[in-house]
A and B are shown apart, each in its own frame.
Chain A
Amino acid sequence: ETGVTQSPTHLIKTRGQQVTLRCSSQSGHNTVSWYQQALGQGPQFIFQYYREEENGRGNFPPRFSGLQFPNYSSELNVNALELDDSALYLCASSPGQPNEKLFFGSGTQLSVL
């Protein structure tokens, strides 16, 4: 059974660019959640996808968007990157609703210059 995998592991972008981050959920998991973790802080909930539909969103602007595919993998897209978007982006999957446990990937470290 494979765990949650994220790609790429590191990424450098410049302000104003767009970025796509990818996540493969753990086998059998149909729910994916995305989090942003700034340096020295706890993760902040961006949004959750359940069976390809958005199922809740945190306090992030619309330039943060996502997709979930039929195989339950997911993408996080960020448009018009800002310096404050520099962070570790974590994907987590869980085996359904209601879900009790989250299984995290190792994250994508995004640096915006």
Chain B
Amino acid sequence: GEDVEQSLFLSVREGDSSVINCTYTDSSSTYLYWYKQEPGAGLQLLTYIFSNMDMKQDQRLTVLLNKKDKHLSLRIADTQTGDSAIYFCAEAPNAGKSTFGDGTTLTVKP
């Protein structure tokens, strides 16, 4: 079955870059997503990439996809304290039927 794995925790200093990694197993995934969840809130879609792309950049966010290794990463440039949250990787044949990882808690220290 489908499985999405992420490391649980990441701590960085304000102003540094953060890199959150994810691996997935379903090679038929069409879309791969990164979501952000703040305490007591739902999930906010940050960015997504089609499975036929290698990279996508959106302001401070860069997504890299290695389809051969089924590895997805999210780089946040110039990380700010407001970026502290849980980040979820997800893969899907369509967005509504996504399989999520268990999230990476990003802590940004001043």
Contact = CB atoms under 8 A, between A and B. Distances in A.
B99 interface: yes
Contact of A101 (B30, B40, B42, B45): B45
A33 interface: yes
Given A41-B102, A42-B88, A42-B103, A104 B97 contact: no
B4 A101 contact: no
B25 interface: no
B41 A102 contact: no
Nearest to A92: B96
Contact of B96 (A4, A99, A105): A99
A101 to B, nearest CB: 6
Interface stretch (A43-51, A65-73, A75-83): A43-51
Contacts of B48: 100-101
Interface residues of B, number: 23
A42 B99 CA distance: 9
Contacts of A94: 95-96
B38 to A, nearest CB: 10
A31 B92 CA distance: 15
Interface string A80-113: 0000000000101010011111111111000000
Nearest to B86: A42
A103 B45 contact: yes
Contacts of B97: 33, 45, 48, 56, 58
A40 interface: yes
Contact of B99 (A45, A99, A106): A45
A56 B102 CA distance: 22
Interface in B16-66: 30-31, 35, 40-45, 48
B45 A106 contact: no
A99 B95 contact: yes
21 contacts: A4-B42, A32-B96, A42-B101, A42-B102, A43-B88, A45-B96, A45-B97, A55-B96, A56-B96, A58-B97, A92-B42, A94-B95, A97-B94, A98-B30, A99-B95, A101-B45, A101-B95, A102-B96, A104-B43, A104-B44, A107-B42
